[in-house]
Amino acid sequence: MATLYKKKRDQGKKGACWYFDFTDENGKRRSRKGFTDKGLTAQAAAKAENEVMLRKRGLIDPAAERIVERKRRPLAEHLTAYEKTLSKTTPKHIKQTVNRIRRMIVGCAFVTAGQIDAEKLREWLVAFCEKEKLGHRTYNHYVQAFGGFCLWMVETGRLASNPVAAMDILNAAVDVRHPRRALSPEEFSKLVASARQSGESIQCFDGEQRSRIYILSYMTGLRRKEIASLTPRSFDLAAVPPTVTVAAACSKHRRTDVLPLHPELVTMLQEWLRNVPADAVLFPRLARRRTWLMVKKDLERIGIPYVTPEGIADFHAAGRHTHITQLLRNGATLPEAKELARHTDVKMTMRYTHIGIDDQAKAVRSIPCPWIGSDSAVPKGQSEASSVTARHHDTDGGGDVSAGTVARCGTNRQKRTPPVKGGVQWRRRESNPRPVTFPRLHLRAYSHAFTPSPERPAATRFCSG
């Protein structure tokens, strides 16, 4: 039975609240605040006892009750707890994610988790992107950040379902705000030469240092911050093959990466690392420098535009984009390029690949043209099977295709004149067309059938009729 009472300090006071005690389903005594009216407090106590009885009988799910209770908590508490779970990513990613979620919470005036509404969130986000002139890709980043936060709340029992799971992702391909282009090998060679011959310092790096940074980015595909973390200990030039190691703390996906090195780069590194201490950083302060400005000035010095209709040739494009594009242009398979680029999805690798119409034309020209003709006309190196396949029959008229009347590629076939029997031109009836067979395979099959054996005497004559 529940007990109604007033606290000692409130006894004799008019308008003081009543309290009630009751025993929960675990046998513990609980106390709750009621109302200033004793009758309403008695009703609240009866409701609490009824809920205890339902829980004991299994008619109320305690997990569902906990979710309801957590939904009433402020979203700021949930966001603080969520931020701690992001400690495995980079500080920049944590800051961006939390700031985007907080901006959406404040903009939509969400106070508790139970107030999250996908439609209201979509309306605010569309208006925000229009006001700030943000593209589809940024819109998707906001949706993914808030969606990850809601998914975490579902996994930790703070929400029963993800309220923003139905929010659409926009097509970022139709609204590219910062397109990049890859440099050709000739353009990159001119970029390196421009840096070495410039005689000026840009972003605290002289021409020789800039040229080394460009070469490392182009021949390894490493990002700016990954190059900034390299020391002589990062390279193992004596290994087979020689490798460079990027520590997990400096890698974008927080995993240790070991990449093979180009033989020519190994020769250059032996000279570059000769007098550098083992633990010294090769390019100090590179992570905080505007590398795009370095590339822009070095390109403009030799007359190569920084911005073209194809895209921007910034540091990331001149190095990493060009590296991945050249891998595929020079025979690497897509899985190999994906592993060397250290991407988790091949779709991301394709975004770094810039294949133009010239590359497509080169790929088309590499397709071997089918050779159709006589045995004597088969080029050296083609298999006998390909020549047999080329000598097919004409199914319309029934006659064989003349070996001397068929050109190599792209011309129409000419029918052989039907043979003349007894002065009358003979023609097979349309209702009984000649079957399509390959002559050589046909003869092989029948020669096998007429091979002498103890059970079957040798055939003395082959009759086709």
* Residues 213-242 pLDDT 10s: 999 999 999 999 999 999 999 999 999 999
Every domain of the chain and the residues it spans: 3-60, 75-174, 185-231+262-362, 369-407
User: Letter for the amino acid at 439?
Assistant: P
**How sure is the predictor about 417, in pLDDT bands with cuts at 50, 70 and 90?**
low
**How sure is the predictor about 436, in pLDDT bands with cuts at 50, 70 and 90?**
low
Predicted confidence at residue 446, as pLDDT, reads 43
Please compute the mean of the pLDDT values over residues 69-77 and round it to a whole number: 81
Residue 384 has pLDDT above 80, yes or no: no
Q: pLDDT, tens digit, for every residue of 316-337?
A: 999 999 999 999 999 899 999 9
Query: If you ran DSSP here, which 8-state letter would residue 288 be given?
Result: G
Please compute the mean of the pLDDT values over residues 43-59 and round it to a whole number: 84
Predicted confidence at residue 68, as pLDDT, reads 67
As a 3-state breakdown, the chain gives helix, strand, coil percent values, each rounded to 5, of 50, 10, 45
Predicted confidence at residue 266, as pLDDT, reads 94
Cα torsion at 429, 430, 436, 437 (round to 10°)? 0
Closest CA to 141 of 182, 180, 169: 169
**Secondary structure class of 200 (helix, strand, coil):** coil
Residue 397 has pLDDT above 50, yes or no: no
- CA–CA distance, 296 with 313 (Å, rounded to integer): 8
> Average pLDDT of the chain?
81
* Least reliable range by pLDDT among 43-47, 229-233, 275-279, 433-437: 433-437
Predicted confidence at residue 404, as pLDDT, reads 39
Residue 12 has pLDDT above 90, yes or no: no
* Least reliable range by pLDDT among 115-124, 172-181, 191-200, 383-392: 383-392
Residues 6 or more apart in contact with residue 94 via CB below 8 angstroms: 83, 86, 87
The beta strand positions in 280-431, using DSSP E, are 307-308, 311-312, 420-421, 424-425
Predicted confidence at residue 365, as pLDDT, reads 81
List the alpha helices (DSSP H) in 11-90. Answer: 38-56, 62-71, 75-85
- Between residues 439 and 364, the one the model is more confident about: 364
% the chain with pLDDT above 70:
77
Any idea which fold 75-174 has?
Answer: DNA polymerase; domain 1 (1.10.150)
- Between residues 53 and 68, the one the model is more confident about: 53
Predicted confidence at residue 453, as pLDDT, reads 52
Residue 145 has pLDDT above 80, yes or no: yes
* Least reliable range by pLDDT among 53-67, 261-275, 359-373: 53-67
- Does the pTM exceed 0.75? no
- Between residues 113 and 102, the one the model is more confident about: 102
Predicted confidence at residue 459, as pLDDT, reads 43
The CATH number fitting domain 185-231+262-362, selected from 1.10.3470, 1.10.443, 3.40.630, 1.10.132: 1.10.443
Predicted confidence at residue 255, as pLDDT, reads 87
Residues 6 or more apart in contact with residue 269 via CB below 8 angstroms: 235, 237, 261
Residue 440 has pLDDT above 90, yes or no: no
Q: pLDDT, tens digit, for every residue of 167-201?
A: 888 888 788 888 999 999 999 999 999 999 999 99
Predicted confidence at residue 460, as pLDDT, reads 40
Is 185-231+262-362 the same fold as 75-174? no
Closest CA to 301 of 195, 225, 441: 195
**How sure is the predictor about 389, in pLDDT bands with cuts at 50, 70 and 90?**
very low
CB atoms within 10 A of CB 210: 26
Predicted confidence at residue 180, as pLDDT, reads 92
Residue 445 has pLDDT above 70, yes or no: no
